[in-house]
Amino acid sequence: MAAAPITIESADDPRIAEFRAIRERDLTGRQNRFIAEGTVVLRMLAEAHATRRGFEAEKILLLRNRAEGVAAILARVPDDVPVYVAEADVLDGIVGFHLHRGVLALGRRIPGSENLLDSLAERALVLVGCGISNHDNAGSMFRNAAAFNADAIFLDETSCDPLYRKAMRVSVGSVLSVPYQRSSSALDILIALTERGFDIWTLSPRGKTDIRAIKPSDRMALVVGTEGDGLPEAVLARFKSARIPQSVRLDSLNVATATGIALFAMASAADRL
């Protein structure tokens, strides 16, 4: 059960300093902290916290008239997590714009002790992102991975941190539910996956195999790059490649949509949907 709400009357109150001007700055990179927005994401954060799945809520800030609506969610949050409430003018003063949803939390990721690579099931579908620097695209990849039951996401170190506010929001909280790891180079990730029996499928407009015709296997990895540059040659040259057939007029689909289509095709091929 959450703590009794504490009223905040000034945007300068130091207790809610982390929520100040959230559009202009971003807490990520500072001790794995992030901002969760909206009821759906708050619910996922509360569940992850309650079930010790790698994330904790540190503090919650609500528009006063939203507190009752999220009471059931707050009931899942331990009572050492402070809950602050504010009127609309104070809340807007804190965050720096009109926050019509009125539900915010400061969360923290707790890096796991186990190795994600070695914790994957015998039958697994994973997504690997290379150079995904756009926060929207990173968030969409998590949302798609959750929709099609992917088991994990691996991001190379040139991809953005999915804890960024916009990525988290676009993922509709899926960053909190799909296990992920962000480190090293795409090539190192793919070699490690290969060593663990994964069939690697890079996605590219010039891929050799029609995505509708790839041969399913127990362990499959889909690898996607940025829209502009695509995947590095060192990656494309070394692994099997797949393409989504499409109009010759257009360069390529948006990476989020392409990832969704390819994951859907692979999950279908593997009889996972």
Binding site for a copy of itself (CB under 8 A): 140, 143-144, 146-149, 170, 172, 174, 177, 212, 244-247, 249-254, 256-258, 260-261, 264, 268, 273
Task: Closer to a copy of itself by CB, 84 or 180: give it.
Answer: 180
CB of 254 to a copy of itself, least distance (A): 6
Minimum gap (Å) between residue 146 Cβ and a copy of itself? 5
Element at 80 (helix H, strand E): none
Residue 242 beta carbon to a copy of itself: minimum distance, rounded to whole angstroms: 13
Residue at 154: amino acid letter: F
Closest distance of CB 13 from a copy of itself, Å: 32
The token pair that represents 78 in the structure block: 């331990």
**Two tokens at 270?**
């593997």
| Choice between 61 and 267, CB closer to a copy of itself | 267
Rg (CA), the chain: 20
Nearest partner of 41 among 178, 165, 174, judged by Cα: 174
Residue 209: CB partners within 8 Å, gap ≥ 6?
Answer: 201, 240, 241, 242, 243
**Shortest Cβ distance from residue 40 to a copy of itself (Å)?**
8
187 CB-contact burial (10 Å; exposed 0-12 / middle 13-18 / buried 19+): middle
Closer of 15 and 212 to a copy of itself (Cβ): 212
